[in-house]
Amino acid sequence: MATTSRRALRLLSLLGSRRQWPLRDLAARLAVSERTVRRDLDTLRELGYPVATVRGPDGGYRLGTGHILPPLLFDDDQALAIAIALQTAPSTVFGLQDDTARALATLQQAMPETLRAAMESLRLTRLQNYWEFPAPPIDPAALSTVGTAARLRHVLVTELLRPDGTRPAPEDQDFAAARRLEPHHLVVWAGRWYLIAYDLDDHQWRVHRVDRLHPRPTTHGFDRRDLPGGDLAHFVMSSHDRGDTPAAWQCTGSARLNLPAHIVARWAPGGSVVEHLDADHCRLILGAWSWAGIAGILATFDTDLTDLHPPELLEACRRVARRHAAIPET
């Protein structure tokens, strides 16, 4: 019975991972006969899972839609993967920390003792990375508004927020008035949520950080547009203005790095700008309290630097290099 139950659980997991499964494929994955698979499918139906049979030469089985499923069941590998994901998920949406902790506790209570011990051995401690200057987490309501508008293809009216997440004063000239956007894509890159939208006011494609938007939904629909170049990842990485500009540092500079943008974006301080140049090069724009501070951050990438701006940054890099060269051997 225990073997049958584990196999039925594995079968349920397979059905949930793909829209449709031919009978022979299910039998091969479970290493049993097709007759045994049919019997296990009947077991799932008796438990209330809506397993539908698809007729025809390309038929098979799938989980039905439009039904209320019984409580979800996970095999050991799935449960452990979810537990790790809950511990390592970045805190980019505020207000969910308590919910995440409760979900992890609920999952842990349902685990058998051996699996609970394995999860405890993987329990993580979050360490503050003092090189990071993360953007304010996103309000779940704003993220939901943007995501729903993109899914339903409804125009958004948005205001740009300050880097600290506050709304600008009406007389603030650095921020434009409310914009009308067609939200086409919602993506996550380098720990930040971005909206790729078509701006109806200036008829340009734009990339906006969602945590820098105050969105208001509308019921005005729009038709799908083709993104220039057709490559979503390239468009995001190569856009020079994504709302990433650091907030009012004493010094702001840039350099061309002999590294791909996705590598630099992973390790660059939060709030910096990574511009995709080609497959092997990118430009990093960042701020610090001094020119030497920027030079120090650039040095951590351990690669050749060219095209440094402004001249103060170039001089700071040379000055730091001379200091290091003068360190006496011990």
- For 131, list phi and psi in degrees, rounded to 5: -80, -15
Quote the pLDDT of residue 170: 66
DSSP track, 20-32: -B-HHHHHHHHTS
| 58-81 pLDDT per residue, tens | 778 888 765 554 555 666 777 777
CATH 3.30.70.250 fits 251-325, yes or no: yes
Domain with CATH 3.30.70.250 in the chain: 251-325
Interatomic CA distance for residues 297 and 209, integer angstroms: 24
DSSP bridge partners of 217: 156
Confidence of residue 184 (pLDDT cuts 50, 70, 90): very high
Which residue pairs from 101-110 have beta carbons closer than 8 angstroms and sit at least 24 positions apart in sequence? 107/79, 107/82, 107/83, 108/83, 110/79
Quote the pLDDT of residue 1: 43
Interatomic CA distance for residues 168 and 165, integer angstroms: 9
DSSP bridge partners of 79: none
Q: Whole-prediction pTM value?
A: 0.53
User: The domain 2-63 is classified under which CATH number: 1.10.10.10, 1.10.10.60, 3.40.1280.10, 1.10.20.60?
Assistant: 1.10.10.10
Domain with CATH 1.10.10.10 in the chain: 2-63
Burial label, 276 (beta-carbon count in 10 A; 0-12, 13-18, 19+) = buried
197: its two tokens: 């939208």
| 142-174 pLDDT per residue, tens | 888 888 898 899 999 998 887 666 776 666 655
In 60-112, which residue ranges form alpha helices assigned H by DSSP? Answer: 76-88, 97-110
